[in-house]
Amino acid sequence: MKNHDPRCAGGSNADQKLLDDVAKYGWHVMKVLETTETPGWAYSVGLYKSFGHAEILVFGQDSDLMQYMINTIGEGVQQGKSFAVDERYAELIDAYQCTLKPVRPKWYPAFMGFASWFYEGDDYPVLQCFWPDFENRYPWDSEFDRQLMRAQPLLFHEEPIAARVEGLIEDQDSKVAD
């Protein structure tokens, strides 16, 4: 059995819940709540182990909606559907099409902590699920709503400025140290 992840406020019971959910359903959804400094995010743990599909990471929506989005993808994967990079998926948020992009492994420690604990390293794929603004533009589009920019970092980029993680990573580091 894996050792308890010390970042978990819920103690080893939360670790066990994750392991139990992966065993029972094939995945677990971890949620990181929004703060005044950072958007919230959620990610799957177990899709790769159970189904050979990349884990899913979503930022900037209500935590229940992000969980719904990940569970919708998980249920599709469980039924044999594959979710591919740059395809559009209308079933994740009403009236909008989401798309997926690969996350660079360098961002796993900051945003996929329990997944790296579960896999005992960073040898697993992750796709970030992006949602559009009200005009159906994505965060990398030049006309994307600037008020929503901070809600979705671009983790398919390698450099922190291009990935829009400056400030977000530093905030994470200070919280881990507390």
Q: Where are the domains of the chain?
A: 12-177
Q: pLDDT tens, position by position, for the chain (178 residues)?
A: 455 445 444 556 788 899 999 999 999 999 999 988 899 999 999 999 999 999 999 999 999 999 999 999 999 999 999 999 999 999 898 889 999 999 999 999 999 999 999 999 999 999 999 999 999 999 999 999 999 999 999 999 999 999 999 877 765 543 433 2
Residue 159 per-residue DSSP state: S
Q: Where are the alpha helices (DSSP H) in the chain?
A: 12-25, 47-51, 63-78, 108-111, 113-119, 160-163, 168-177
Distance CA 144, CA 138 (A): 6
Distance CA(118)–CA(5), nearest Å, equals 9
**pTM of the full predicted structure?**
0.89
Task: Express each pLDDT in 38-78 by its tens digit.
Answer: 999 999 999 999 999 999 999 999 999 999 999 999 999 99
Could you count the other beta carbons within 10 Å of the beta carbon of residue 72?
18
Sign of the four-CA dihedral 5, 27, 52, 112: negative
Sign (positive/negative) of CA torsion 133, 153, 155, 93? negative
Cα–Cα distance, 58 to 132 (Å, whole number) = 12
